[in-house]
Structure 1
Amino acid sequence: MALSFFDQFASPSLLGIPLMALAMFLPWFLFYPTPTNRWLDNRLITLQSWAINRFTQQLLTPLNPGGHKWAMLLTALMLFLITMNMLGLFPYTFTPTTQLAMNLGFAVPLWLSTVILGLRNQPTLALGHLLPEGTPTLLIPVLIIIETISLFIRPLALGVRLTANLTAGHLLIQLIATAAFVLLPLMPPVAFLTAVVLVLLTILEVAVAMIQAYVFVLLLSLYLQENI
């Protein structure tokens, strides 16, 4: 049976049982050790705690104090997205964040929470974003429609951006790997150069996996800042 390049993005199953939940929760038990009650932990836990503290501090510095309640949620989301993005770079694994439905499942509720928070705490200012000050009278209906569309397009942009970047990277890696495999018996020097490009692209994809998770959470924090 001929396989498609897009088969790697299909949710795997074993004996008719979807393995999506296993792919999502297993890395938490493997890559994130449980902190102990000792004064001195191992290097991995120390590095993990330092990275989380630095990220939380950088993320919450521009936010008003009212947004600091979201610190645990945004930090946990950042770790979750990084883990899921990196998961697909391992052999015989699956990347859950290449599924648009899953990404929208994160983006829509969190974006809607920031909008509801703004309408509850400062309704005048929240609705004022739909119409810039000093707008000519004839342009008021058009600008309100445009700003409303841009407001509702935000969660879609969050989900599509994450899905598209990861999908494109994985497809490019598979295409170059296939080319290196095909060229190996025909032109070994060219296959070697292709393999070098593949290694460099894999390193780039690791960076993309971390950057896209950071961008996703950063944009959510910006949406939160507008409504607190």
Structure 2
Amino acid sequence: MVLSFFDQFMSPVFLGIPLMALAIMTPCILMPTQASRWVNNRLLTMQNWLIGLFTKQLLTPLNTPAHKWALMFASLMIFLISLNMLGLLPYTFTPTTQLSLNMALAVPFWLATVIIGMRNQPTQSLGHLLPEGTPVMLIPVLIIIETISLFIRPIALGVRLTANLTAGHLLIQLIATAAFVLTPLMPTIALLTTILLLLLTLLEVAVAMIQAYVFVLLLSLYLQENV
């Protein structure tokens, strides 16, 4: 039986139980938790340092009211990185290759930033729909264009994360299949293909971390416009 390359992106089910829910819960189980003792071990110390570094890097250009989102952004960043990285292990499933999950994350966060802007500063939030100094004839057209671009933002967030991870997984599977097929026929070419596969895997690890950072960074930029 010949399987499709896209079968790896189907949500697995075991005994009627969707394993996607188990995959989403996995980062919470693997992440080290704070202990009751005063002095943390090396792993917790490094984790706290990385979280603090990321939060400072992300929130430094934002206004003070946006700093209330620090805990949420840090949690989302860790969650996405964990899901993306765990999906690179053999015999695992990457939930973030599902557009449904990414849209379920993107839409509520984007909508929250819009609602906050409409509640706290409605004039400035609505002013983003019409640039200053626009000719009268272009006002209706620009309002329609800016409104469409506003509603495209959550779609772009979800599709970007899905497309990048899906493309990387497909490329890894294609090169791995080529290396497996070429091994008995042309061992030298198969060895070079395997080296390329290892380099691509390292690149995919970087992409998994970068895409999680980009997802949270864009959300912070959307928040900056509305606080």
**Shared fold (TM-score greater than 0.5)?**
yes
Partner of 1:86: 85
1:36 and 2:11 aligned? no
Partner of 1:207: 206
Deviation at 1:40, TM superposition (A): 2.6
Partner of 2:112: 113
Partner of 2:166: 167
Which amino acid counterpart does residue 187 of structure 1 have in structure 2?
A: M
Which amino acid counterpart does residue 213 of structure 1 have in structure 2?
A: A
1:4 and 2:9 aligned? no
Question: Identical aligned pairs, as a percentage?
Answer: 74
Cα distance in 2 between the residues matched to 1:24 and 1:155? 21
Which amino acid counterpart does residue 17 of structure 1 have in structure 2?
A: I
Deviation at 1:62, TM superposition (A): 0.9
Cα distance in 2 between the residues matched to 1:23 and 1:120? 36
Secondary structure of 2:46's aligned partner: helix
1:99 and 2:128 aligned? no
1:162-207 Cα offsets, whole Å, 9 max, x none, are 0000000000000000000000000000000000000000000000
Q: Aligned pair count? A: 227
Out of 43-52 and 150-159, give the one that drifted further.
Answer: 43-52
Partner of 2:66: 67
1:132 and 2:134 aligned? no
Deviation at 1:39, TM superposition (A): 3.0
Q: Tell me if the contact between 2:11 and 2:19 (Cα under 8 Å) persists in the aligned partners.
A: yes
Q: Tell me if the contact between 2:27 and 2:79 (Cα under 8 Å) persists in the aligned partners.
A: no
Deviation at 1:3, TM superposition (A): 1.0
Cα distance in 1 between the residues matched to 2:39 and 2:212? 30
| Superposed structure 1 runs of 4+ greater than 4 Å apart | none
Deviation at 1:41, TM superposition (A): 2.1
Cα distance in 1 between the residues matched to 2:95 and 2:26? 12
Which amino acid counterpart does residue 163 of structure 2 have in structure 1?
A: A
Deviation at 1:37, TM superposition (A): 2.4
Cα distance in 2 between the residues matched to 1:26 and 1:219? 25
Out of 43-52 and 170-179, give the one that drifted further.
Answer: 43-52
Partner of 1:184: 183
Partner of 2:14: 14
- Please give the TM-score of this superposition, normalised by the length of structure 2: 0.98
Deviation at 1:96, TM superposition (A): 0.2
Cα distance in 1 between the residues matched to 2:107 and 2:11? 22
Secondary structure of 2:143's aligned partner: helix
Q: Tell me if the contact between 2:176 and 2:197 (Cα under 8 Å) persists in the aligned partners.
A: yes
Cα distance in 1 between the residues matched to 2:112 and 2:35? 34
Which amino acid counterpart does residue 118 of structure 1 have in structure 2?
A: G
Deviation at 1:28, TM superposition (A): 2.2
Partner of 1:222: 221
Secondary structure of 1:132's aligned partner: coil
Deviation at 1:35, TM superposition (A): 1.7
- Please give the TM-score of this superposition, normalised by the length of structure 1: 0.98
Secondary structure of 1:37's aligned partner: coil
Cα distance in 1 between the residues matched to 2:14 and 2:2? 20
Partner of 2:25: 25
Query: RMSD over aligned Cα, in angstroms?
Result: 0.8
Which amino acid counterpart does residue 100 of structure 1 have in structure 2?
A: L
1:77-109 Cα offsets, whole Å, 9 max, x none, are 000000111111001100000000100001001
Which amino acid counterpart does residue 153 of structure 1 have in structure 2?
A: I
